[in-house]
Amino acid sequence: MLEPTMNDKLKDSINKRILEMKRRVEADSERDFSFYNRPIEDVSGGSKVVIAGQEMGMFASYSYLGLIGHPRIAKAAKRAVDEFGTGTHGVRLLAGTLPVHRELENTIAEFKNAEAAITFSSGYVTNLTVISTLLGRGDFVISDKLNHASIVDGCTISNAKFLRFRHNDMADLERRLESLPLSAGKLVVVDAVFSMDGDIIDLPRVSELCKKHGAWLMVDEAHSVGVLGETGRGVEEHFGLSDAVDIKMGTLSKAIPASGGYIAGSKDLINYLRYSARAYIFSAALTPPQAAAANEAFKVIVDEPWRVDRLRQNFRLFRDGIRDAGLDTLSATAGIVPVICGTDDQAYQVTRLCQRAGVFVLPVLFPAVPPGLSRLRATVMATHKEQSIKEAINVIAESSGKVLSSPLGSV
């Protein structure tokens, strides 16, 4: 057999992918469309940022409650560094568990009205490891079509049969459930607030269907904790339900200003994950400052209820303003406001005009969203002032107007 030459390697599929991305990034840069991976130089309290020396209103943050830099949370993180240092002695199962991890898990369990909780190093990893740990060959996982990539990846790597149902379509979910063997292990997974569209899952109906068909229900609350419910406790509180969700998943990187992910649920479920979830057994524990910051943040949410309230008001002001300007925001209900632009190019152009006018928004393109529905994905925070929200609405409306009415599609 002939040895592969350097020339063969340059033509292989791996190399093609690498080169294709290089070309794409260079082409975007030539057209002044470099919006991703830019360092934020100053977070100035969160609702404003400085990027490449330019101050802009921040309308692309997941820090919904404006808790980044909160003095109590920062102090808790610093205290944890003084007490425990910056790292752990390894994975949680072995020498990585500190009192601060247990404290955080108790706080989460209480906040989420669950018996127990377990934490992982990120939200992404939480979905991956939990879905693939719970399911095996012969089981079924049924996922909403618009679920986050981490859920999709968890379903893909599990050995279960992976089925999808049409977005938030309960008749379609029921059809799938009815088609499955009675005694098979079944897990239904959904986002609480969908991260591209900002709409809310029909939890009462999903929960009812799961109970009727003997399926477990896992809900990803990345965008609903701190956002939904009177006190920010999430999607069950929003619908006035308790015990509707078996596996309550969330992140510590959005309304909670740290990083990490968690599952809250029954004691037995959490115990099972503590001894079998690969990301818990084979990946290092959350660092002490992350765990302490997250722990304090849940307490701040309880102690400062005005934040959840203000977020809700700001969201309505922002979404309604964008809608009143004649723009399409789909059926956004909480957290995220999609502003539909059309093609990738149009989304890029609207973004550029907004950023030049001092409003930091970012585009989301195909394949993250369907073709023709490329969009700005805008968010507001509890700490935004009414005036800056109104200014942002004007900038987004004017920028969209210029691009979407331009006959050449170019401004």
Judged by the rule CB under 6 A, the positions of this chain that interact with ligand PMP are 122-124, 127, 148, 150, 191, 195, 220, 222-223, 251, 253, 261
Distance (Å, whole) CA 28 – CA 165: 35
Smallest distance, Å, CB 40 to ligand PMP?
16
Active-site hit among 112, 186, 248, 254: 254
What are the angstrom distances between the C-alpha of 123 and each of 150, 171, 260, 261? 8, 29, 6, 4
Smallest distance, Å, CB 306 to ligand PMP?
25
Smallest distance, Å, CB 259 to ligand PMP?
6
Alpha helices in 263-385 (DSSP H): 267-276, 278-281, 288-303, 306-324, 344-356
Tell me whether residue 186 or residue 223 sits nearer to ligand PMP (CB atom).
Answer: 223
Residue in 144, 138, 195, 204 with CA at minimum distance from that of residue 173 = 144
Tell me whether residue 287 or residue 388 sits nearer to ligand PMP (CB atom).
Answer: 287
Tell me whether residue 253 or residue 383 sits nearer to ligand PMP (CB atom).
Answer: 253
Q: Which long-range contacts (CB under 8 A, 24 or more apart) does 343-347 make?
A: 343/372, 343/374, 343/409, 344/374, 345/409, 345/410, 346/374, 346/403, 346/404, 346/409, 347/374, 347/375, 347/376
Active-site hit among 70, 101, 148, 223: 223
* Number of CB atoms found within 10 A of residue 326's CB: 10
Structure tokens given for 318: 């922002």
Would you call 254 a catalytic residue per the annotation?
Answer: yes
Smallest distance, Å, CB 32 to ligand PMP?
26
Smallest distance, Å, CB 147 to ligand PMP?
8
Would you call 148 a catalytic residue per the annotation?
Answer: no
Residue in 139, 170, 166, 171 with CA at minimum distance from that of residue 155 = 139
Tell me whether residue 290 or residue 351 sits nearer to ligand PMP (CB atom).
Answer: 290
Q: Which residue has the tokens 């990803």?
A: 220
What's at 386, amino acid-wise?
E
Tell me whether residue 123 or residue 342 sits nearer to ligand PMP (CB atom).
Answer: 123
Tell me whether residue 180 or residue 364 sits nearer to ligand PMP (CB atom).
Answer: 364
Smallest distance, Å, CB 62 to ligand PMP?
7
The answer to whether the CB of 226 falls within 8 A of the CB of 65 is: yes
What are the angstrom distances between the C-alpha of 253 and each of 35, 145, 264, 367? 21, 24, 16, 24
Smallest distance, Å, CB 378 to ligand PMP?
15
Tell me whether residue 148 or residue 233 sits nearer to ligand PMP (CB atom).
Answer: 148
Q: Is the peptide bond before 305 cis (omega within 30 degrees of 0)?
A: no
The residue at minimum Cβ distance from ligand PMP is 123
Distance (Å, whole) CA 73 – CA 215: 38
- Which residues carry out catalysis? 195, 223, 254
